[in-house]
Amino acid sequence: MQFAIRCQNLVKTYRGKPPVEAVKGLDLEVLPGECFGVLGPNGAGKTTTIEILEGLLAPTSGSVEVLGMSWDTQADAIRQRMGVSLQETQLSERLTVRETMQLFRSFYRSGMTVDEAIELVALSEKANAWVKNLSGGQKQRLAVATSVVGDPDILFLDEPTTGLDPTSRRQLWDIIRSFRERNKTILLTTHYMEEAERLCDRVAIVDSGRIIAIGTPRELISSLGAEHVIEFMTNSDLGSSDDGASFDWLKSLPSVDRIESDHSHHRIIAGEPHAVLPALFAELKQRDLRLANLTTRHASLEDVFVSLTGRHLNEN
Amino acid sequence: MTSNSKPLRSTALMQLTLARLREFYRQPEAVFWVYFFPILMVVALGIAFRNKPVERITVDVVSSEHAQTILDALQKDERIVAAIYAADECQQRLRTGKSDLTVAAEDEKKVGFTLDPTRPGSVLAQDLSNRMIQEAAGRSDPVPTTTSEVTEPGGRYIDFLVPGLLGMGLMGGGLWGVGFAIVDMRIRKLLKRLVATPMKKSQFLLGIMFSRLLFMVPEIILLIAFSWYFFGVQIYGSWLSIGFLVLLGAAEFSGIGLLVASRAKTMESVSGLMNLVMLPMWTLSGIFFSYERFPDIVQPVIKLLPLTPLNDSLRAVMLEGTSLIALWPQLILMFLWGAVTFAVALLVFRWND
């Protein structure tokens, strides 16, 4: 088996007036043992894509292979080796954590014991509590536990941390990492770039049903050309913004790779901030412009998304 | 880490059944309605029909010079409530259902009745009034008769009613219980989550049916025990046969429940569909009164409805002690309803949204 997941020219069009093209020709190759992230804004087609890969939706066209098998002929064999956490499943409220796990464990021929799975997601203390009485983060961990109890070779997680507080999110990341360390394949979707950067070996950035960039987080960030972002605001426009030429002085600062400007909000992508900043201050002073909200940081996947689409990941 | 040995308790079918049972018993309000509603029904109807007061027959006499003679004759029967009114008032009272019959004495030897022939009460009132008037005028019957009244257990309305309520309980329990549970799981995306596991779909549906059969046992026992203790309702046939009929009936209606809920996406749509399915059976299948009152032409259709064979065989076993062997056509019909709806439900079931 060369690929854990392979899909070619995946298309999904929902019927309707007008028809909605959720996925418009998507190719994906995920290697065994890899943690692969599908990053994109809401409505980019992430959930549709992952549900096709999970065998829950039929693609309009295109081919899908999971663990070298096809959904058409080997669905049950795939399901025995796959774990799934959907975006919005509400497990039965009046079952306890252990009862829920016993139920899910009973579907698999082999796997962990119920207690091992509960231990893995750190819910041992809540084993006898009703699902109804769990917090949001605990519910999500239980959902992940139900997906790993069959000891799957491949795990699909659709927005596993959406809506969770930072602590719960970090707990869940640890669980996902521990699974990753056992050389299992993980495919997760997220609209948090930080999540993708921290967890994933490789990331595909999707927008409007297409992959617009793919690679390791490091590769994607370095595709920006430089790895630092300097953002600042000024009290007035830097010059007439209709006239591109007025930015020339910013571009000619040392080590600057690229400039993005939106009214009084400016973003410089540069290799070495310590070279840019003194020159920037000198120029602003000379032009009698006041500086506000200056920040410098490493470039992130968010910047990659912005530079590819001109939009932010989580703006709607 | 991995283990392949599976005790019975860990099989998917067992776990699915257990999960449903636990969810049900942990909802006290659902338990109340499922188990006590049929009993409330027996109480209400049992009381309504038990100490039935002597039926009153209201007869109006049109005011005239002979009215008092007629009135005296009528009042010799204690069932008749008679009074004298003016002619137009009599007409008004008859029209609005306040009286069953109007009697007018045109002269000493001639009496006229006015009535609505579509009202059974009116027809009865005419017969009785006629007899009283004739007897008062000196008629004697050529053949003397005697009457003895029967109110033995077995032949009363409550005896007819209880098997019907058992059937109704099995129908309602199967449809509501299965239908709501499924649509609820569909709304919560739990069905979708389950089909992403290697769970066998048929086992999921069977688990729901089995749990339904198990809920029904206490309901039926309670209902039978209650009507025996308070109303003296007896079972003339074998308990084993009753048990078998209850299980078959519960299975039949869970199958129908599965089919009704197989595509519905909202509680509203499944409620509407279930009412649509149940309504004909509530009225036609002989829960509260015998379906033989309906015209001959619809009898074959009534007999094919899923509830009719259940009610018929429950009554035959409970009231007449009939053996199940003699009821084979009804049993086969119930089995077919259950099996066919289950199979169709499995085919058309909507698992994903």
Q: Please give the backbone phi and psi of residue A27, each rounded to the nearest 5 degrees, phi first.
A: -115, 135
Give the integer Cα–Cα distance in Å for A164 and A212: 28
pLDDT at A282 over 60: yes
Q: What is the pLDDT of residue B194?
A: 94
Which of B1, B4, B197 is the best mutation test for A, with the most CBs of A within 10 A?
A: B197
List chain B residues with CB under 8 Å of A76. 198
The answer to whether the Cβ–Cβ distance between B197 and A95 falls below 8 Å is: no
List chain B residues with CB under 8 Å of A105. 10
Task: Check residues B17 and A287 and name the one with the higher pLDDT.
Answer: B17
Interface check for B50 against chain A (CB to CB < 8 A): the answer is no
Give Cα B74 to chain centroid, integer Å: 38
Q: Which DSSP category does B174 fall into?
A: I
pLDDT at B2 over 50: no
Interface check for A272 against chain B (CB to CB < 8 A): the answer is no
Give the integer Cα–Cα distance in Å for B175 and B260: 8
Closest CA to B349 of B199, B246, B170, B210: B199
The answer to whether the Cβ–Cβ distance between B352 and A57 falls below 8 Å is: yes
CA distances to B174, B267, B326 from B168, rounded to whole Å, are 10, 21, 23
Which burial class, exposed, middle or buried, applies to A271 when counting CB atoms under 10 A from its CB (0-12, 13-18, 19+)?
middle
Give the integer Cα–Cα distance in Å for B192 and B71: 77
Task: Check residues A311 and A316 and name the one with the higher pLDDT.
Answer: A311
Interface check for A14 against chain B (CB to CB < 8 A): the answer is no
Nearest chain B Cα distance for residue A179, angstroms: 14
3-state SS of B33-48 is: HHHHHHHHHHHHHHHH
pLDDT at B1 over 70: no
What are A263-280's pLDDT values in tens digits? 778 888 888 888 888 888
Which of A69, A71, A80, A92 is the best mutation test for B, with the most CBs of B within 10 A?
A: A92
Nearest chain A Cα distance for residue B200, angstroms: 8
The answer to whether the Cβ–Cβ distance between A110 and B4 falls below 8 Å is: yes
Residue B15 has its nearest CB partner, among A84, A88, A103, at A103
Q: What is the pLDDT of residue B349?
A: 92
Which burial class, exposed, middle or buried, applies to A245 when counting CB atoms under 10 A from its CB (0-12, 13-18, 19+)?
exposed
Nearest chain B Cα distance for residue A56, angstroms: 7
DSSP A127-165: TTSBGGGS-HHHHHHHHHHHHHTT--SEEEEESTTTT--
CA distances to A205, A227, A238, A272, A313 from A296, rounded to whole Å, are 24, 11, 19, 11, 20
Interface check for A56 against chain B (CB to CB < 8 A): the answer is yes
The residues, any chain, with a CB within 8 Å of residue A36's CB and separated by 6 or more, are: A5, A30, A185, A186, A187, A188, A200, A201, A202, A203, A204
Q: What stretch of H or E contains A179? A: helix A166-181
A-B interface: how many C-beta pairs under 8 angstroms?
Answer: 83
Q: What stretch of H or E contains B85? A: strand B80-85
Q: The complex's ipTM?
A: 0.85
Residue A90 has its nearest CB partner, among B16, B190, B194, at B190
Residue B199 has its nearest CB partner, among A57, A91, A107, at A107
Residue A109 has its nearest CB partner, among B4, B16, B193, at B4
Which of B193, B202, B352, B353 is the best mutation test for A, with the most CBs of A within 10 A?
A: B193
Q: Which chain B residue has its CA at the smallest distance from A113's CA?
A: B1
List chain A residues with CB under 8 Å of B195. 56
The answer to whether the Cβ–Cβ distance between A103 and B352 falls below 8 Å is: no
What are B268-309's pLDDT values in tens digits? 999 999 999 999 999 999 888 889 889 999 999 999 999 999
Give the integer Cα–Cα distance in Å for B260 and B255: 9
Q: Which chain A residue has its CA at the smallest distance from B27's CA?
A: A94
Interface check for B11 against chain A (CB to CB < 8 A): the answer is yes
Residue A76 has its nearest CB partner, among B10, B192, B198, at B198
Q: Determine the 3-state secondary structure of B318 from DSSP.
A: helix
Give the integer Cα–Cα distance in Å for A297 and A273: 9
Task: Check residues B192 and B66 and name the one with the higher pLDDT.
Answer: B192
Interface check for A95 against chain B (CB to CB < 8 A): the answer is yes
Residue A88 has its nearest CB partner, among B15, B189, B352, at B189
Residue B190 has its nearest CB partner, among A57, A92, A112, at A92
pLDDT at B49 over 80: no
Q: Are A308 and A185 in contact (CB under 8 A)?
A: no
Closest CA to B233 of B8, B39, B21, B9: B39
Block residue for tokens 């901030």: A273
Q: Are B163 and B315 in contact (CB under 8 A)?
A: yes
Give the integer Cα–Cα distance in Å for B245 and B236: 15
Angle in degrees, CA B315, B32, B43, rounded to 5: 45
The answer to whether the Cβ–Cβ distance between B27 and A94 falls below 8 Å is: yes
What are A117-170's pLDDT values in tens digits? 999 999 999 999 999 999 999 999 999 999 999 999 999 999 999 888 888 899
* pLDDT-derived band at B332, boundaries 50, 70, 90: very high
Q: Please tell me the total number of residues recorded for chain B in this structure.
A: 353
Per-residue b/e over A15-45, b at no fewer than 16 CB within 10 Å? eeeeeebbbeebebbbebebbbbbbbbeebb
Interface check for A151 against chain B (CB to CB < 8 A): the answer is yes
For chain B, the structural domain boundaries read 13-49+153-348, 57-136
Percent of chain B with pLDDT over 70: 95
In CATH, B57-136 is 3.40.190.10: yes
Interface check for A107 against chain B (CB to CB < 8 A): the answer is yes
List chain A residues with CB under 8 Å of B196. 54-56, 79, 82, 84, 86
Terminal CA-to-CA distance of chain A, rounded, Å?
Answer: 40
Find the Cα–Cα–Cα–Cα dihedral B328, B330, B331, B336, rounded to 10°.
120
| β-sheet with A228-234: strand ranges across | A256-262, A265-270, A228-234, A291-298
* pLDDT-derived band at B119, boundaries 50, 70, 90: confident
* pLDDT-derived band at A26, boundaries 50, 70, 90: very high
* pLDDT-derived band at A315, boundaries 50, 70, 90: low
pLDDT at B201 over 70: yes
Give the integer Cα–Cα distance in Å for B292 and B32: 34
Closest CA to A171 of A121, A98, A127, A125: A121
pLDDT at B264 over 80: yes
List chain B residues with CB under 8 Å of A95. 19, 22-23
The answer to whether the Cβ–Cβ distance between A106 and B11 falls below 8 Å is: yes
The residues, any chain, with a CB within 8 Å of residue B183's CB and separated by 6 or more, are: B261, B264, B265, B266, B267, B270
Q: Please give the backbone phi and psi of residue B130, each rounded to the nearest 5 degrees, phi first.
A: -60, -45
Let me know how many helices (H) and strands (E) chain B has, helices first.
14, 4
Looking at residues A6-18, what average pLDDT do you find?
91
pLDDT at A316 over 60: no
Block residue for tokens 């009939």: B322
List chain A residues with CB under 8 Å of B193. 84, 86, 89, 91, 146
Give the integer Cα–Cα distance in Å for B324 and B249: 14
Peptide linkage before A254 cis (omega within 30 of 0):
no
Domains of chain A and any CATH numbers: 5-81+153-219 (3.40.50.300), 91-149 (no CATH), 225-298 (3.30.70.930)
pLDDT at B233 over 90: no
The answer to whether the Cβ–Cβ distance between B193 and A86 falls below 8 Å is: yes
